[in-house]
Amino acid sequence: MSTIRTRRAAVLAVATVTAALVLTACGGDDSGHAAAGHGTSASPSASASASAAHNAQDVSFAQGMIPHHRQALEMAELAADRASSADVKDLAARIEKAQDPEIETMSGWLKAWGEDVPAATGSAESMPGMDHGADAGMSGMPGMMGDADMAKLEKASGEAFDTMFLTMMVEHHEGAVAMARTEKAKGAYEPATAMADDIVTGQTAEIEEMNKLLG
């Protein structure tokens, strides 16, 4: 009887150890799940970081370049039936083709960031610093034409229009290039700095082209 009792005690001891090991393993699984859960909880902050991957300069760039581009499009549209030079008409068409999609893209950024998209209408001269030849440092919108300049361009035609258009667009492009260079230097949003780089490259080439056309 003593031997039987001893064997039973040994069996019970083994069973107890086995159960303890099983419980320990389960506890390890739970901690593993908890660790995984902790890793998952980091994703909201990662998402927040991604959504915050822009700065005030990026917002300023988009909000300034949209009306700047819109005015360039207004000027380019006038060339269709007022310009006498085929080169000027071709340049105007290329400006429209390049800048219209950029307006749409920048508007999309501002909406995604919860920022205001500049209104499509409004007087340039009614906005501080927007007059022709205004101090770029104060306005942040260098190269913008005033209402009087736009009215003169609209009334012109033929060779007079060509000269006025090219002269105004050179200044307009120089302003856009200055704004784009500021974005390249201070912006944080990679698509915006990439667009700024394209603007610098493309519009600098067009400035050289227009200066040649002006002689």
- What is the C-alpha to C-alpha distance for residues 159 and 9, in angstroms, rounded to an integer? 112
* 192 touches 159 (CB < 8 A): no
For 172-194, how does the pLDDT look when each residue is reduced to its tens digit (9 = 90+)? 999 999 999 999 999 999 999 99
Helix (H, G, I), strand (E, B) or coil at 156: coil
Q: How far is it, in rounded angstroms, from Cα 166 to Cα 129?
A: 22
Q: 161 and 83 in contact (C-beta within 8 Å)?
A: yes
Q: Which two structure tokens, joined as six digits, stand for 100?
A: 């219209």
- pLDDT at residue 95 in the model: 97
- Predicted model pTM: 0.70
* Torsional class of 143: left (φ above 0), alpha (ψ -120 to 50), beta (otherwise): left
What does the alpha-carbon distance between residue 35 and residue 47 come to, in Å, rounded to a whole number? Answer: 20
What separation in angstroms does the CA of 207 have from each of 1, 61, 91, 142, 211?
Answer: 109, 21, 11, 15, 6
- Cβ pair 79, 161 in contact under 8 A: yes
**From CA 129, how far away is CA 125, in angstroms rounded?**
8
Question: For the residues 199-212, what does the mean pLDDT come to?
Answer: 98
Chain segment 54-89, per-residue pLDDT in tens: 999 999 999 999 999 999 999 999 999 999 999 999
Q: Would you say residue 92 has pLDDT above 60?
A: yes
- Per-residue pLDDT band for 141 (boundaries 50, 70, 90) equals confident
Q: How far apart are CA 62 and CA 29, in angstroms?
A: 50
CA distance 128 to 141: 10
- CB burial readout 60-88, b (16+ within 10 A) else e: bbbbbbbbbbbbbeebbebbeebbebeeb
* Percent of the chain topping pLDDT 90: 66
d(CA 174, CA 76): 16
| Whether residue 12 has pLDDT greater than 50 | no
CA 2 to chain CA centroid, Å, is 86
* Torsion angles phi and psi, residue 118, rounded to 5: -55, 140
